[in-house]
Chains A and B, each alone.
Chain A
Amino acid sequence: MEQTNFQLKKQDAQSHDEWDARLHRATRATREDWMGRGISYLCIGVIILVVASMLWFITSKGIATFTQNHVSLWKFLSGTNWAPDQGQIGALPMIVGSFAVTFAAAIVATPFAVGTAIFMTEISPNKGRKLLQPVIELLVGIPSVVYGFIGLAVVVPFMRHLVGGSGFGIISATFVLFVMVLPTITTMTVDSLRAVPRHYKEASLALGATRWQTVSRVILRSATPGILTAVIFGMARAFGEALAVQMVIGNAAIMPKNLISPASTLTSQLTTGIGDTIDGTLPNNALWSLALILLLMSLFFNALVRFIAKRGQLKNGR
């Protein structure tokens, strides 16, 4: 009796240990969980590594102009003479050119984009989705070289007849970029208009406001942060666009005096120049410095978007 009891106890202990081990052992599901997490971490790690090395690469190449070739940063940013072969690297004409086409395109495109978006969400949602949505999606999908080619074949001659000069210049680039950023701004504006809570609109209409009053004072007002974000994304696209702009702006590294004389942008100078320079020489380093400016600007645009999103949220919360 005692013995069996003891044996039982022993068995009990044994099975207890076994159960303990079993319960603490990772199940298949847990292992899958670990693996999934591991893969995710690995992917994130690789992404971070790539981004970090890209940042490091562009930065180290970009600052070589200042550290190795001893060009002063101020001279680079404020100089207006761009002749890298002769050691002159004033990048201001390109910086001004880039900002000019970017702002001009955004200013022209925004009213159109907002108008289209209002039509698609408030005035005629059905037609908007059936007709405009595919059209806008098509615009997104057209490669930039096609835009550039159309610009060269249509916009440039048109501008030449309209305003004179050679037709190459900021105004042609603005037109091409206008078409290119329009879908970006429109789609995002549509989203932000749709995100306006329904009861805002209902309350406004209930108070006796007309449709136009509701749209202009309530819907657009509360969607403003979203629309601003849309505009900034459009600007980021315009700022970074290289090929299409390069084909119509004329690529003259001179300070733009007006909208119809040839100018150049950071990207257009990069694409025209990079094949003809030798690694490690000033002309090559100077181009990397232009790339660095582009990188910093896109970081700035991203930061701006975050900032606006945050401000917008606070406003909505109140």
Chain B
Amino acid sequence: MLSLRSGGSTILKKRHGVTEMNKGSKLAMGIAALSLLLVGCGKATSSSSSKGSSSEALSGKVTAVGSTALQPLAAKAGANFTAKNSKVTLTVQGGGSGTGLSQVQAGAVSIGDSDIFAEEKDGIKADKLTDHKVAVVGMAPVVNKDTGIKNLKMAQLKQIFTGKITNWKEVGGKDQKIVIINRAQGSGTRATFENAVLKGTDAVKSQEQDSNGAVQKIVGSTPGAVSYLAFSYFTNKLQAVSIDNVTPTDNNVETNKWKIWSYEHMYTKGTPDKATTAFLKYMDSKTVQDSLVKDMGYISIHDMKVAKDAKGTVTQN
């Protein structure tokens, strides 16, 4: 009996909520959310800009925001760094390369993480920012295992992503429709892939996913699916595709035999404070580069035998 009544009263409450107070309650919630957001932003802005002017023990606040591809490494390295420097507060957040670059340009964060060169992004004044390359990420086309594809020619890959080839049998696979899964426009991974493979041609319009994780899951489960992923996201449910018989391995990236790779950048603006400088130095140190970077599936910046500039020109080291 009691439960009946309580059920009734909830319904009554709901009706009031919906018909009369709906706007009010919605607004109130919106405000709560907004004010939280504002508070959050304010905090980030004030804390991160430049507080670390103290001299003795390293202290201060470092905020690194941006690329989700770099986020796991930055977070892990950051945790190790703060373990050694207990007075430093280090926050690592995702949000995307675009967010990282615009936030660091606006001076809202100390470090902007990005998968792509600042020069490649419209609206970013690259000459105002300092680039710190902290790792290299190799990316490769991946297909669903059912397609029977293990190797593709570069030209074929380009034709697939521009929509000229639409069935796997045209490139030696099963008679199966090709399902292209792209990353969102403006994604760093997509930009790297398109620079290396499409070289200025526009990709055919297709599905877009906003993260490596989503791509990994969807390619693994969708018959005929093709996409591209960072090496660290390969699983046994996917087939990583060789291009012109070059396999996607770290060694091939280091010599540029494998062409689809990009730097992971940490951008700073102006003169970074002491804590930030120390953290960047730590990122470049042997401790991080020789163990952490490799453990987490990235390629060490120290191992690279070539260098790439913002225009994509590759030079031997």
Contacts and interface: CB of A to CB of B under 8 A. Distances in A.
B27 A279 contact: no
B185 to A, nearest CB: 5
A187 interface: yes
B4 A262 contact: no
Given A273-B185, A283-B185, A168 B207 contact: yes
Interface string A174-207: 0000000000000110110011000000000000
B34 A251 contact: no
Interface SS, B side: helix
Contacts of A195: 15
B172 to A, nearest CB: 22
Contact of A278 (B8, B19, B122, B188): B122
Contact-size category for B = 35 or more
A133 B11 CA distance: 9
Nearest to A278: B123
Interface size class on chain A is: 35 or more
A235 interface: no
B99 interface: yes
Interface string A70-86: 00000000000011111
Interface string B16-29: 00110001100110
A107 interface: no
A247 B221 CA distance: 14
Contacts of B217: 152
Secondary structure type dominating chain A contacts? helix
Contact of B207 (A157, A160, A262): A262
B122 A276 contact: no
A190 B11 contact: yes
Contacts of A160: 222-223
Nearest to B223: A160
A277 B202 contact: no
Interface string B211-246: 000100110011111000000000000000000000
Nearest to A251: B208
Contacts of A302: 23
Contact of A51 (B27, B98, B214): B27
A191 B14 contact: yes
B207 A252 contact: yes
B207 A281 contact: no
Contacts of A282: 122
18 contacts: A51-B27, A126-B4, A134-B7, A157-B221, A187-B14, A188-B14, A191-B12, A229-B19, A250-B208, A252-B206, A252-B207, A272-B209, A273-B186, A275-B68, A275-B97, A275-B98, A276-B96, A284-B123
Interface of A: 46-47, 50-51, 54, 82-86, 126, 129-130, 133-134, 137, 152, 156-157, 160, 166-168, 187-188, 190-191, 194-195, 229, 233, 246-247, 250-254, 262, 264, 271-284, 302, 309
Which 3 residue pairs spanning A and B have beta carbons closest together? A275-B96, A276-B186, A281-B123
